[in-house]
Structure formats: structure tokens, C-alpha cells
């Protein structure tokens, strides 16, 4: 049958090429594992600790849009809220909420689809908070810098 001959021919003549291609893809994937956008540490084998890395990304948000909400947050709640903003901007598909939970306050961040401004990717996003049963929503936009940080637009 023609299909059988095609498979044999392909396996015989393309087998080495296929193996080399698979190996190259695997090596490339391994080399790029530090380039993923999961919101964790960056830089592969030479990366700094997750805490140092997240501090850089969180501080670049300049308080995020959660700071505009007027809700009083503890340090740990603020950290959770800003991490959720970063994860929503960096990795979440448009419209997918990234939730966080604090003591009396909880929230979810939803980023819209990215758009281009010059060479930067930007996203509009909302941060919905529930503070002792009261719902508050803030809106904003941020653009991604070449170092992976996000800067809010004012």
C-alpha cells in the first residue's frame, strides 16, 4: 500500500532528521525554561531567589491599582493583591480572573487581552475587592517593560 511505503520511506530517510529535530526542540525548550511567564523567578539556572525576583516585579507595579481602591490592607494582603495583579498581567489569558484571599479582604484581578503601544505589550485590567462584604472595583492599565516588569499607566 502506498501509505505503508510512504511510512517506510519517511522512517528510513527522515528518521535521523526527525530524531535530530526532536532533540533540538527538547534542548531549546530546556534552554528557555527560565524564560516562561509564570510570575515566578526568572532567568533559568542563573536566576536569583523567588523572593528577590518577585520583589522587583511587585515594586515595579508602584502599588498597583489596588492602592487606588481606598481599601486598607495589611502588608500580607497588599503583597497577595499585587502578586495577583502581576500574575494577571503577565500570564493570565484575557478575561480569566486571578483570585487572592486575605483576612477580611479578598479580591480578583482580570486583565483584558494585550495590545501594542510602540514596542510594548500593554493590558487594561480591573481589580475587584470585597472588604467586609463591601465590593469595590478599580480599573487601570499597565505596560510590560523589556525586563519583564509592568509599569502602570497614570
Tally of domains in the chain: 1
Q: φ and ψ at 122, to 5 degrees?
A: -130, 160
129 within some domain? yes
78 within some domain? yes
- pLDDT at position 5 is 38
Can you give the pLDDT of all 154 residues of the chain as single tens digits?
A: 443 433 333 334 434 433 333 333 333 333 333 333 333 333 333 334 455 567 888 899 999 999 999 999 999 999 999 999 999 999 999 999 999 999 889 999 999 999 999 999 999 999 999 999 999 999 999 999 999 999 999 7
- pLDDT at position 90 is 96
34 within some domain? no
Read off the pTM. 0.66
43 within some domain? no
Residues 6+ apart with CB under 8 A from 5: none
23 within some domain? no
27 within some domain? no
Treating both helix axes as pointing N-terminal to C-terminal, what angle do 50-60 and 75-90 enclose, rounded to 10 degrees?
A: 80
DSSP summary character for residue 145:
-
In DSSP terms, 152 is beta-bridged to 142
Q: Which domain holds residue 80?
A: 71-152
39 within some domain? no
Q: CA 69 to CA 12: how far, in whole Å?
A: 65
110 within some domain? yes
Amino acid at each position: 500500500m502506498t501509505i505503508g511505503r510512504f511510512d517506510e520511506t519517511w522512517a528510513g530517510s527522515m528518521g535521523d532528521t526527525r530524531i535530530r529535530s526532536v532533540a533540538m526542540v527538547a534542548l531549546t525548550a530546556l534552554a528557555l525554561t527560565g524564560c516562561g511567564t509564570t510570575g515566578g523567578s526568572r532567568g533559568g539556572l542563573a536566576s536569583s531567589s523567588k523572593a528577590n525576583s518577585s520583589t522587583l516585579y511587585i515594586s515595579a507595579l508602584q502599588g498597583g491599582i489596588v492602592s487606588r481602591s481606598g481599601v486598607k490592607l495589611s502588608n500580607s494582603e497588599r503583597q497577595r493583591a499585587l502578586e495577583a495583579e502581576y500574575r494577571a498581567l503577565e500570564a493570565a489569558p484575557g478575561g480569566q480572573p486571578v483570585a487572592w484571599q486575605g483576612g477580611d479582604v479578598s479580591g480578583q484581578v482580570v486583565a483584558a487581552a494585550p495590545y501594542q503601544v510602540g514596542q510594548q505589550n500593554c493590558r487594561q485590567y480591573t481589580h475587584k475587592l470585597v472588604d467586609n462584604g463591601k465590593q469595590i472595583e478599580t480599573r487601570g492599565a499597565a505596560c510590560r517593560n523589556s525586563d519583564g516588569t509592568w509599569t502602570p499607566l497614570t
